[in-house]
Structure formats: C-alpha cells, structure tokens
Amino acid sequence: MKILSDYSLDELQVELADFPKFRAKQIFDAIIQSKDYSDIALPKDMINKLKENYILKPIEIYKTLVGKDGTKKYLLKLYDENLIECVFLHQSYGNTICMSTQVGCRMGCKFCASTLNGLIRNLTAGEMLSTIALVNADNGKSNTRNFTNIVLMGSGEPFDNYANVVKWLDLITDKNGFNVSERNISISTCGLVDKIYEFSKLNYNITLCVSLHATTDEIRRTIMPIANRYTINEIVEALKQYVKENSRRVVFEYCLIKDVNDREEDIINLKKITAHLLCHVNVICLNPNGGSLKATTRKEAIDFVNRLNKNGISATLRRSQGEDIAGACGMLRAKSLKQKS
C-alpha cells in the first residue's frame, strides 16, 4: 500500500492521473486537514479504487495526556499498529509541535527512553506530515494552522532517516499545504557528522541542534554510543561549515546529569567548544528514565547557566514542560509497550 501523504501536490497529480485533475487537490487538502475517505466528497467508485492501493490517513490518536501546564502528549497509532509520540506545547511565542521521525531509535543514548527497544522502522515523509495534520486538527480548526513551530525532538534520530526528513521539509513548507516557515523548524541530531555536511549544502533556513551532553569525548562515549564514531571536534567543524553555508546560529542541547557533565571543568570545556562558533547552548535538566543517571537539581542548573553566561557563553535553561505526563523523549511509548508485554 502507498501512503497518499508521501506525495506533493504535483506528484499526486501524476500519481492520480486516471482521475480528473481537481481530485488531486481535493486529496491533498484532505491530507492537510487530516481527513479520511469517509470525510470527503468523492465518487464511491473512486474511493473504492483508491482504497485498493492507497492509505489516506496513516495515523490516528491512540491516547492523549494533558499536563497541568496544558502540554498535550499524544501516543499515536500508525496504520501498521506501531506507536509513536508527539507533543503539543502552548507557548507565548506560538504553539510548538514536537514530533518523532522514527518508531524507536537505534542510537542507544543512555538517558533516552526512545532507544530502549531499538529501532523498529523509519517514518515516511508522509507519515510525518500526517502527524502534524492530525495534531493540528486536534488543537483548533482543521483548516487553519494552529501552531507556529515544529521541532524534530521526539523519538528517533532525524539524520538516521535523512531522505525522508528532507522530503518532509519540502512537504511541510509547501505553500499549498501548511506553508511553515523554515525558520520555525528545528532539527535535532545526536551528531551524525557526515549528514551535517550533506545537509549544510541544501541551504535550508532551519535551526540545527546538536545533542552534545558532554564536554569530553571520553565522557560522551559513556552516555552516547555515537561518540565512538565522531568526536566533539569533528562535530564542531561540521557545524562551522553549516554556519558558513547557512548563516544560521546552531544550538547545542546540553542535558545536565549529576556529576557527569555539570562540573566546573565542563564550563571551561564548553567555553573552548563554543569559542569560534555562532551558537547557543540550550541547557535542559535530565528527566530520569529509571536508569543510573541522576538529574542535576533545577537550582544547580540555574547556577550552571549563570556561570556559562559569565564566561561569555550564550546559554539558557529550557523550561521543562509536561514533566507530569512523561514529557521526555519516548517515555510514554516505553510505558505503553511495557504495559502491553
């Protein structure tokens, strides 16, 4: 079966060439509004033909949790029964959707719940577009855009699903569809250096974020297996290239873990790492997932960020949203998988 949301409007017109041209636009609008066959006015025989080969709505809401702060966490079910997560955050500067790029993840970061059962499969570009459409429709009218920003910070490693993520970028920024500004999209990677170089050349105006989480390769290797493949130096060089090609500030994500990366020497190291790079450090407190890693307290985190700032490093502490509803990456899905087994 093919997924209709994998196609751009132009591609749909070619794919559905057996039908009158305006039908492609009708299908495309249905995708954006998260409609299924039963919700649109199409001739019965056309629907029957389409249903034989194509899935119109590959994703549905399985469970919704609403946090005290209004953060909505979704467990979504794909057409093949796989579950993914998505979060809708209400923010003063516009609502943000945080979404997944893979079912599971194979990067193996020690603190992250998404990777606990490994990678099941990649999401297609259309499944990612349909995720946005579904969550958009659940947060207002389906024919308006009810969000401003999208961050690829859910489950999965976006650059491990590179081709689909790039295709999705074209779909989500398409003027015929959601028309999201590239500037309002952030992609977070654990640091797949070869893909950072490849992506730099495409000149998208998105914000590129790299999960750093340690200031020496030695420590990084103990919490992020990808550090065995690429050094921090190699990441910084690749990011310099990204900044050069795109004139965009890059972001380091830095999740504070007690006695692992919150030491005085980490501040000195961070100063060196960020010294010649147009960048910002986004500090987060670890959301413990039951492993041996402990969180730095919020008070210590505030102090850590203050010390970074005193050292001339652009850094902020990210407000933690949705903590009461298993807010961090993959936690809700992991919980649900556990209950099933």
**From the list 32, 129, 286, 334, which residue makes contact with ligand SAH (rule: CB under 6 A)?**
286
The yes or no reply on residue 232 touching ligand SAH (CB under 6 A) is: no
Rounded least distance, CB 307 to ligand SAH, Å: 20
Active site residue 85: yes
Segment lying near ligand SAH (by CB under 6 A), choices 169-177, 196-204, 240-248, 281-289: 281-289
As a three-state string, the secondary structure of the chain is: CEEHHHCCHHHHHHHCCCCCHHHHHHHHHHHHCCCCHHHCCCCHHHHHHHHHHEECCCEEEEEEEECCCCCEEEEEEECCCCEEEEEEECCCCCCEEEECCEEECCCCCCCCHHHCCCEEEECCHHHHHHHHHHHHHCCCCCCCCCCCEEEECCCCCHHHHHHHHHHHHHHHCCCCCCCCCHHHEEEEECCCHHHHHHHHCCCCCCEEEEECCCCCHHHHHHHCHHHHCCCHHHHHHHHHHHHHHHCCCEEEEEEEECCCCCCHHHHHHHHHHHCCCCEEEEEEECCCCCCCCCECCHHHHHHHHHHHHHCCCCEEECCCCCHHHCCCCCHHHHHHHHHHC
Rounded least distance, CB 41 to ligand SAH, Å: 40
- Give whichever of 153 and 196 is closer to ligand SAH, judged by the CB atom: 153
The yes or no reply on residue 321 touching ligand SAH (CB under 6 A) is: no
Site for ligand SAH in 93-152 (CB under 6 A): 107, 109, 111-112
The yes or no reply on residue 223 touching ligand SAH (CB under 6 A) is: no
**From the list 6, 253, 262, 266, which residue makes contact with ligand SAH (rule: CB under 6 A)?**
253
Residues in contact with ligand SAH, shown as a per-residue x/- string from 64 to 93 under the rule CB under 6 A: ------------------------------
Rounded least distance, CB 279 to ligand SAH, Å: 14
**From the list 34, 122, 124, 211, which residue makes contact with ligand SAH (rule: CB under 6 A)?**
211
